[in-house]
Amino acid sequence: MSRPINIRPSILCADHSILAEEIRRVTEAGADYIHIDVMDGSFVPNFGCGSEILKTVKAHTHLPMDVHLMLVEPGRHIKFFRDLGGDVIYIHPEAGGNTGDTLREIRALGAAPGIAVNPGTSVEAVVDLLPLCDHVLAMTVEPGFGGQSFMPETLVKLEALGALAKEYGFELCVDGGISAVNITKPALCGVTGFVVGSALFGQEDYGTILKSLTRICTEATPL
């Protein structure tokens, strides 16, 4: 049985001057997770979403926190982000440390482990890690900045990961430039989790957008 479609608004693209209100709006609009991009300015050339952002999210929603760690040696920080309330924690295999051990630690601390797969990272490079993952976040832009355009060349990788998701049982999620214009093809590849940013935040009616994205994906038939 396929997993239900779920939408994960990326708080990186929210208006941080009214962050509590943005969190409340997406929660009431029917979001399934809150996606949080944590960036250290070293692994990616940007800073974003430190501990105070996670505390604010935790205080203003009941939704699970989907935490994407773009950090050098993320294994040093897993307990910290779990203690802040991270429910799903993604790490990058290229970020240093023992990725397998870090994924096991995430699970031991009671969170769902996941890896993030960059556009330039091959499926073959991460296949041995997939049995340790509950979620896989396929990046369809280069990580580090919101508002980028979806990279259609990543669809071949999404199709391969979709087949592996059926084999290993992880949930395949996608992050980067997702909108109503391009969401169907990832859904056809077997993606069920969708991170959305600039296609949602700053728009007038969050509820209508989330319902539309969910409907489009639900109507798509996986390959």
Q: Is 37 a catalytic residue?
A: yes
CB atoms within 10 A of CB 119: 15
Say which residue the tokens 């994407």 belong to. 68
Query: How many Å apart are CA 212 and CA 209, to the nearest integer?
Result: 5
Which of 32, 37, 40, 66 is the catalytic position?
37
CB atoms within 10 A of CB 62: 6
CB atoms within 10 A of CB 154: 24
The residue count of the chain comes to 223
Which of 101, 134, 175, 205 is the catalytic position?
175
Query: How many Å apart are CA 12 and CA 26, to the nearest integer?
Result: 13
Determine which helix (DSSP H) or strand (DSSP E) holds 29, and give its type and residue range: helix 19-29
Q: For residue 111, which of 122, 103, 119, 99 has the smallest C-alpha distance?
A: 103
Say which residue the tokens 């773009």 belong to. 70
Taking only Cα atoms into account, the Rg of the chain, rounded to an integer number of angstroms, comes to 16
Query: How many Å apart are CA 173 and CA 187, to the nearest integer?
Result: 10
Q: Is 15 a catalytic residue?
A: no
CB atoms within 10 A of CB 40: 18
Q: Do 196 and 179 meet the contact criterion of CB atoms below 8 Å apart?
A: yes
Which residues are identified as catalytic?
Answer: 37, 175
